[in-house]
Amino acid sequence: MTKRSVASKKLWKIGAEEFNTQYFDYNKDGDLIIKEGHNIYNVRYMAEKFGTSLEILMPFVIEERVEDFLDLVKDLSKKVKYQGKFFYHYPMKVNQNKEVVMALVGEGAHLETSSYNDLWLVKKMLEQETFNPNIRILCSGPKTDKYISLIDDLQHKGVKIFPLIEGPNELKFLQFSKYDVGIRLDMPIKASSYWNKPIDRFGFSAKEIINMGSFKNLKILHYHIGSQIEKLSDVIGPIKYALDVYFKIKEKNPSLDTLDIGGGMPIPYMRNKSYPVDKLMEKILKLIKHESEKRGLPHPNLVCEWGRYIVAPAQISVFKIIDTKKIANKKSPAKKWYVIDGSFMNDLLDTWAIGQKWAISPANNKHDANLNEVWLAGSSCDSDDIYTGVHGSVTLPDYDSSSGENMYVVVYDTGAYQDPLAAHHCMLSSPLKLIIENGHIVVARKRESPDDVGKNFGW
């Protein structure tokens, strides 16, 4: 390995398990490569062959992450003598692309749907017999009449499907269901996460649920306080609270046997360390065990719905720099604009919507001796279509678009939420999507033509 590639790896935090970048490396020519066992994929090669903007999905990363996670819980349950069962449910809204969902299900994930249309996909796959009928489905999101009747339909067919009651209208329909249901607790303990609102519109307070008395088939107590919860104490506090409620309602609802702690496990987008998953999971299992034994009651089954944590690192987005421009203002932390052939507002919408930060590195880095501080701009005509980095700028190799060579940049961890949120501002086409696995490179979604995009707008 050359000195230069060692320096590049360090600078862009490539090859580090704690940041989920162990799949990446720089080769001796300064090209970013992706490693799957002994298979290697060259990112610059894929960008040149298939064109940019480009998304590269790595199902093997999803598979490895689910498998590691399920193994971890199994080992920890044994270690701490936790007797409840554990179910991992993938929330489909995080990324419902077929190749993502199938990779998860293939490793033993159960599913959580957020809408009638989500559940429709599940029904389709059950009919095509591409799912094991023992798969468990949780249904959250507002239950429209259509959603309820599809749940009903699947329950009749013997599918293990559990609607989670989140509002008064749903309560009316489902409280006396002859099938199993769950109920959502509106958690009064708040976490520092972008999504954790001071007043949540979903679920019922502890008092309300306790006063509801006895349900016919209440199985699950569920809550979800937000995504990307970065403090360990913000995860543990709500579990304690929910356990207290769980045991109170169990008195009148002996069928209750499962606690569902929702989503929240974070991803180190900004490449700073967070709490490790094994430490958190051990704490959770010990806490539930302790609280149950204190009351002389059996350990509940545990459900968790961490979608972002599993799928974000499984995709990267690759863009070409199509223009550069000096930033005249001397006070600016960035010296140049790099214009990409994709769009932050369209392809990585959270950049604009919630100020999401990303790790970014060059895909080809021949002349990395000179680094520059830059801002990135998307190809829409919108002045908001920019990304200014974690600390005010992005460090990339210096590049001049008149040099005749191409420069590509990679945005990491784009596998969660960005595809479902994608838009077509300025009629731009979405990135082409590649799947790489077992040495194959497959085009999963072609680049949209102007006609394809136009169809969305009635043309």
Ligand X SMILES: *Cc1c(COP(=O)(O)O)cnc(C)c1O
The binding site for ligand X (CB under 6 A) comprises 91, 93-94, 140, 224, 227, 262-265, 305-308
* Coil, helix or strand at residue 261: coil
Residue number with CB closer to ligand X (131 or 417): 417
Closer residue to ligand X in complex, CB, 25/112 = 112
List all residues 6 or more positions away from 64 whose beta carbon is below 8 Å from its beta carbon. Answer: none
Among candidate residues 135, 127, 187, the one with its CA nearest the CA of residue 161:
135
The CA distance from 270 to 416, in Å, is: 15
- Give the whole-angstrom CA distance, residue 250 versus residue 271: 42
Among 90, 60, 87, 140, smallest CA distance to 265 is for 90
For the bound state, the minimum distance from the C-beta of residue 428 to ligand X, rounded and expressed in Å, comes to 26
Q: Is the Cβ of residue 159 or residue 304 nearer to ligand X in the bound state? A: 304
Q: Between 66 and 396, whose beta carbon lies closer to ligand X?
A: 66
Residue 24 Cα distances to 13, 41, 224, 315, angstroms: 10, 10, 33, 12
Closest residue to ligand X in the complex (CB): 263
**Least distance from ligand X to the Cβ atom of residue 223, Å:** 9
> Would you say 307 or 389 has its CB closer to ligand X?
307
Q: Which residues contact 133 (CB under 8 A, 6 or more apart)?
A: 126, 158, 159
Closest approach, Cβ 343 to ligand X, in A, equals: 23
Rounded least distance, CB 311 to ligand X, Å = 8
Instruction: Round to whole Å and give the CA distance between 163 and 171.
Output: 10
Give 76 or 138: the residue with its C-beta nearer to ligand X. Answer: 138
Q: Report the C-alpha dihedral over residues 268, 337, 351, 36, rounded to 10 degrees.
A: -40
Rg (CA), the chain: 24
Q: How far is the CB of 31 from ligand X (least distance, A)?
A: 32
Q: Which residues contact 411 (CB under 8 A, 6 or more apart)?
A: 316, 317, 318, 319, 348, 358, 359, 360
Closest CA to 187 of 259, 243, 258, 241: 241
Residue whose CB is less far from ligand X, 104 or 376 = 104
Shortest Å distance, C-beta 197 to ligand X: 13
Q: Which is nearer to ligand X, 180 or 305 (CB)?
A: 305
Give me the residue label for tokens 């307070």. 205
Minimum CB–partner distance for residue 254 and ligand X (Å): 25
Q: How far is the CB of 382 from ligand X (least distance, A)?
A: 26
* Strand residue runs (E) in 190-310: 218-222, 258-260, 301-304
132: number of Cβ within 10 Å: 9
Judged by beta carbon, residue 187 or residue 436, the one nearer ligand X is: 187
**Closest approach of Cβ 183 to ligand X, in Å?**
13
